[in-house]
Structure 1
Amino acid sequence: MPSLAPHIASVPASGIRRIFEIATELDDVISLAVGEPDVAVAPHIAAAATAAWHRDDTDYGPNGGIAPLRRVIVDKLASRNNITVDLEQVWVTVGATQGLHLAMQLLLAAGDEVLIPDPGYTIFTMNARMLDATPVPYSLTPDRDFMASLDELERLVTERTRVLIVNSPSNPLGTVFPEPVLRELLAFASRHDLWVISDEVYEYFTWGEPHVSLAALDTEDRVFSVFSLSKTYAMTGIRVGYLVTPKGLAATMRTMQEASISCVNTPAQHAAIAALTGEQHHIDDARAHYAENLRAATALLEERGIRYLDPHGAFYLWIDMRHATDGDVAAWAERFVLVDRVAVAPGSAFGRSGEGWIRVCLASNENDLLEGIRRLPA
């Protein structure tokens, strides 16, 4: 039997999915490991997809997405994100996951380096390894309020560095980079002529610190922005996101999309139009629900004497379990789900800096969330 490409062996498995898969084989598990909203998709969103199926609107669509959806996204970017783009800069993707991979495919060749946050979303490292590129972690640590250090970035950048990835609001940390920090990161990218990929999946969920889009500050056309409808509209399984590119890449993007997915399924795109143009109060309801969960969860953690990072965005809690994990939080998380029947994401799944920490999803039933926290060793 022929061998796989040698670099594929270096692609790490997802430590989050490992816990999720164990949990699916067990009964009575409290699931706090994956970022799955517990709210239902709004009826008008489901109705739009159903109507598309009933009228047989199921043919191939354009590589970049159907024009009505792209126009709606252009309007949303202008009104909410302060980003002015034309239709040919917006590319509808199979969730933000494909959008991230597509951006990295465009920008990284074998042997190139990409600067990724640590702790950071697992896909950043996985994508880099899949492309035979090298992920270079830059640390986000408590002593710097989990903000990037420009001094560290300057030490890490080399002649092989091609891309800087920025994730705000952060998964898993919930940190939100304020505008001055974002401007410093753009200036750093400019000094070293780097592309920037901005992951803004949790843009609608911030607690106090406003979300600022990197592309709104970009004057050099070096930012690729990744967005998703999954978390905002509880559409995780519908799989619609979008990648916003600098100008002048339309022909290349059509080729890339055709070679990878051809197009996103049409009923899902009609659901996305309904999500973006319909009433939005269900987002406010979800935000209020997650904020109340955050309040209740942090009160219980403080009562039990367990340290945590107070998040300013996304819908996760980053909890310090170093007192219980004995230097191997991944093994501890497996025991925790097997014995205590609570699934949490081990911090080491998000990078070396996450060792000893866990990520807990706040977008869940409040009773389950609090019971899961009660079972944590104090």
Structure 2
Amino acid sequence: MPAIAARAAAIPPSGIRRVFELAQGVPGAILLNVGEPVLPVAPHVLAAAARAWEADVTSYTGNGGIGPLRAAVAAKLARENALVVDPERVWVTAGGMQALHQAMTLTLDAGDEVLVPDPGYANFAMTARHVGAVPVPYPLRAERGFRPDPADLEAVLGPRTRVLVVNSPSNPLGTVLGEEDLRALLAFAARHDLWVISDEVYERFTFGVPHVSTAALDADGRVLSVFSFSKTYALTGARVGWLVAPHGWGEVLRSAQEAVVSCVNAPAQLAALAALEGDQGVVDEAREFYRGNVEAACALLEGAGVRHQRPAGAFYLWVDVAHASGGDVAGWTERFLRERGVAVAPGSAFGARGEGWVRVCAAGDRELLLEGLTRLPTP
């Protein structure tokens, strides 16, 4: 039999999904491992999708998405992100993941290197491998509050480096990068003529600090921006996101989109449009709900003497369990699930520097979150 493609075989498995699958066999398990909001989708968003299905709005749309949605996204970016773009630069994708995949497809050739944060979202490295590129981790250090240091980036730069991935607010760390940090990263990218892929999926969830879009500071058009409706509007299963591409990329994106999904399904796009144009109070309420969960969880951890990173954004807690995990946090999370009935994501799933840490999702029921945290071993 022919062999599977080497680049496909090189895609690393998801340590997050492994724990999720194991948890399905543990009755009554408290699931704190997957970033799934517990809040319901707003009724007007569900109604928009239902009307579309009932009216048989099921034909193809343009490769880049329906015009009203692209225009609404462009208006939102100008209003909230200080980013003025023509709607033609907005490409509606099958979730933020497809936006990330398209961004890497368009900027990386086989064997090229992409700098990814460590700890960082596991799918950055997975997607790079999927397109035949090589992910190269750059360290995010606890002593710097998990903010990137350009000197560390210089140390891992190579002759095949083509792309820098930036993620703010960070999954899994909750770090929010300010203008000074982003300008330093853009300066680094300009010095070495790199593309920058900016993952801003958690943009609407920051706690007392502003979100700054990397592309709003971009002087020469090197930033590709990844956004999603999944977390903001609890539409994780609808699979709608968007990519903001550099000027003049319309034709190549049209072909790339056609080759992957052709277009996102029309009812989901209409639901996303309703979400964007409807009452944003639901987003404010969600942010305050997550903030309350985070504050309650941090208070519990502080009282127990458990080291953790207090997030400034997103809805995750980064918790140090090195005192218990014995240098194998992936194995420890499996034992913790079996013995204590709590599923958390191993930090090593987010990079080698995540060893000894776990990511805890704070987007669910508060009582279950706090109960799960009480079962963590104390130092």
Partner residue in 2 for 1:212:
212
| Inter-partner Cα distance in structure 2 for 1:115 and 1:318 | 22
Q: Which residue of 1 aligns with 2:244?
A: 244
Alpha-carbon distance in 1 for matches of 2:174, 2:53: 37
The equivalent residue for 2:180 is: 180
Residue 297 in structure 1 maps to residue 321 in structure 2: no
Aligned to 2:342: 342
1:80-159 alignment runs, 5 A limit: 80-159=80-159
Q: CA deviation at 1:303?
A: 1.2
Distance in 1 of aligned mates of 2:146 and 2:208:
16
1:285 CA drift (Å): 1.0
Report the 3-state secondary structure (helix = DSSP H, G, I; strand = E; otherwise coil) of the residue aligned with 1:227. Answer: strand
Matches within 5 A, 1:269-348: 269-348=269-348
Matched letter for residue 125 of structure 1: A
Distance 1:23 1:129 in 2: 27
Question: What is the rounded CA distance, in whole Å, between the counterparts of 1:257 and 1:131 in structure 2?
Answer: 15
Task: Give the drift of 1:8.
Answer: 2.3
Aligned residues: 378
- Determine helix, strand or coil for the equivalent of 1:40: coil
TM-score, normalised to structure 2's length?
0.99
- Tell me, what secondary structure is at the counterpart of 1:252? helix
Deviation at 1:88, TM superposition (A): 1.2
Shift of 1:75: 0.4
Question: 1:63 aligned to 2:73?
Answer: no
Runs of 4+ that moved beyond 3 A:
none
Q: Does 1:54 align with 2:54?
A: yes
Deviation, 1:282, is: 1.0
RMSD of aligned C-alpha atoms?
0.7
Aligned residue in 2 for 1:15? 15
Deviations 1:237-257 (A, max 9, x none): 011000000100000000000
1:226 corresponding residue in structure 2: 226
Per the normalisation by structure 1, the TM-score is: 0.99
Q: Provide the secondary structure at the position in 1 that maps to 2:243.
A: strand
Shift, 1:25, TM fit: 2.1
Q: Alpha-carbon deviation of 1:342?
A: 0.5
1:79 aligns with 2:97: no
| Equivalent AA in structure 2 for residue 356 of structure 1 | G
Q: Percent identity over the alignment?
A: 59
CA distance in 1, matches of 2:299, 2:341: 22
2:253 match: 253
Could you tell me which runs of 5 or more consecutive residues in structure 2 were left unpaired when the two chains were aligned.
none
**Counterpart amino acid of 2:294?**
L
Amino acid at match of 2:60: Y
Structure 1: where are the runs of 5+ without partners? none
Counterpart of 2:138, as a letter, is Y
Residues in 2 aligned to 1:4 and 1:298: alpha-carbon distance in whole angstroms: 46
